[in-house]
A = this chain, B = another copy of it.
Amino acid sequence: MNQEIPECLLRPCGWLASPGQHGDLVVSSRVRLARNITGLPFSHWASSSDLSQIAETSLLAVQDCPSMNGATVLPVEPLDSLDRKYLVERYLISRELAESGMERYAVVGRNEMVSIMVNEEDHLRLQVLTSGLSLREAWQRLNLLDDELEERIYYAFSPVYGYLTACPTNVGTGIRCSVMVHLPALVMTQRIKKVLSAVTQMGLTVRGLAGEGSEIAGNLFQISNQWTLGASEEETIEKLENIIQQIVDNERKTQQDLWVESRTSLEDKVWRAFGLLSHARVLNSREALELISQLRMGLDLGLMKGIPYSAINDVIIQSRPAHLQKRAGKKLIATERDAIRATFLRDWIRRYTEKEINRIHES
């Protein structure tokens, strides 16, 4: 039995629709909490009857929360590998959950802004995704959901350590905040090295587009806190927001410097990306991401107009392998994907070139 992904998850990600603060450079903010039910073993060493009990207790509570009104419950087990990858690409489940099976669930709220994994590393992983730099807003929503759940579930909690989690790195607040930033000028000037080393020294981790273990590509960096002890959720968020604000200022300054020093070369980069996205017949994931990144920089620099940042954010997700295959309605090998990715991006960009861009390009 192959359970299909419901219709509502086949549309553009709702949470990306509004640009959000610093939406030019900040793609998205994400806050997640790790929570466990008291008196039940952590999922990794739970028996199948324990897992079943965790799932049952969790799902009953989750579906009862006002924040999760209208949510979709997706059991992982019946999903085929393509559907699982699809949900990973949409940031709705982790790769770890995608590789699991029985008694694992994803619960996805409306707009995919709020979602919960059941029986991942922890019994419950609650997350809120928002566009732009919006950790506070995300945290407000998540805190509300957390409170609603806490009224329905006895969380494993220690007055000394805080929330107890399967992995000690999450003990305490159980919070992880991540911000995805686009830093093309810092990469181009190689100033990124200094930025990343400073960020790491401040106790943050940096990952690529696809999260843990993923390569950096398309000048996209996912920056998250590592600490969950000794700082409140609000302090964690404030610290991360301040750091991101500094990085964003640095990127903006670097773009301006580059504009003054090597305007023609920047214009060349941006318009070549535009030319290739508009005409290539074969585009692999990595090249597509690089070209979209350069196009985005063209918007930052005012070289082109008329493509909303939310459309850029969305097309990054839509051109990933499982998304291409879901739209095609079948599994495809890499060369086939590269061809339909090129077609998809060509059609995508043509929607805009017929309007504003051409006018600017002519000037």
Contact = CB atoms under 8 A, between A and B. Distances in A.
Contacts of A271: 279-281
Interface string A321-361: 00000000000000100010010000000000000000001
Interface in A267-326: 267-268, 271-272, 274-282
A140 interface: no
Give me the 10 closest cross-chain CB pairs, A-B, nearest first: A275-B279, A275-B275, A268-B281, A271-B279, A268-B282, A267-B281, A275-B276, A272-B280, A274-B279, A264-B339
A342 B265 CA distance: 12
A188 to B, nearest CB: 15
Contacts of A272: 275-276, 279-281
Contacts of A278: 275, 279
A271 B346 CA distance: 11
A342 to B, nearest CB: 7
Contacts of A279: 271-272, 274-275, 278, 361
Contacts of A361: 279
6 contacts: A264-B281, A264-B335, A264-B339, A268-B281, A268-B342, A272-B279
Secondary structure type dominating chain A contacts:
helix
A279 B276 CA distance: 9
A76 B342 CA distance: 53
A282 B268 CA distance: 6
B282 A264 contact: yes
Nearest to A350: B362
Nearest to A267: B281
A264 B342 CA distance: 11
Contacts of A339: 264
A271 B342 CA distance: 11
A22 to B, nearest CB: 28
Contacts of A264: 281-282, 335, 339
A281 B268 CA distance: 4
Contacts of A267: 281
Interface in A243-273: 264-265, 267-268, 271-272
Contacts of A280: 268, 271-272, 275
A272 B281 CA distance: 8
Nearest to A361: B279
